[in-house]
Amino acid sequence: MAEDGSLGGILRYGLLSTSALLDLFEVRGERREAIESARRPESVVLKHPEHGRAVVRDNKPLGEKALARCLTDISPREWYRTLNGRVFFWTEEARLVKLLGARAYRERAHLVLVVDTASLLARHAQSVSLSTINSGATFPLGAPPRGSGTFRPLREFPLARPVVELTVDYAVPDVRDFILSVSRWRGGEKVGDVRWSGAR
């Protein structure tokens, strides 16, 4: 799930974590700290004379009080930085559709990129970690505990556990090699396919 209008940047630079995007756009100091290490109630627009415009998505589903209750061994600041250093992929369409239809996002168009997971893993397995929870949400109440052990490398992930999120450290610069399709969605429903150079 990506910001509508971001496909050009994704094809040029790859899928970037928030930290990688802040590096690319040369965001430093207090502004970077506010984006990378705290809750973002709204999306943040970045502008750069060379790289153009990009949007850092909000993380509204992380309630601050609920997050503080469910963290086991790290601080909220460390958790935000953990999330912002990763690129996230849903492993089930149902979870994606649920997020697209959530109140905060249902009125806006979004892009959905489907990638070839086998090819992604063949090239980036050493940078992949898996999670059994939706790590970026604490709603509803009773959010599962989380901390330094939430993201497990492939070789350490218990085979019997469900995989909810697949993450790649920092960036997937060559993601265009793995894209199977791009479509535009609104409110949990597909609006149409998006044509792009290099489509299979």
**Side-chain-facing half-sphere of 77: CA atoms under 13 Å:** 3
- Report, as ranges of residue numbers, the positions in the chain whose pLDDT lies below 50: none
Q: How far apart are CA 8 and CA 134, in angstroms?
A: 28
pLDDT value of residue 151: 97
CA atoms 177, 125, 138, 74: torsion sign: negative
Q: How far apart are CA 19 and CA 34, in angstroms?
A: 12
Q: Facing residues of 145 across strands?
A: none
Q: How far apart are CA 196 and CA 200, in angstroms?
A: 9
Structure tokens of 41? 């109630």
pLDDT value of residue 198: 75
pLDDT value of residue 126: 97
Q: What is the domain partition of the chain in residue ranges?
A: 2-193
Q: How far apart are CA 133 and CA 143, in angstroms?
A: 9
What is the pTM for the complete model shown?
0.94
Cis peptide bond prior to 162, omega within 30° of 0 = no
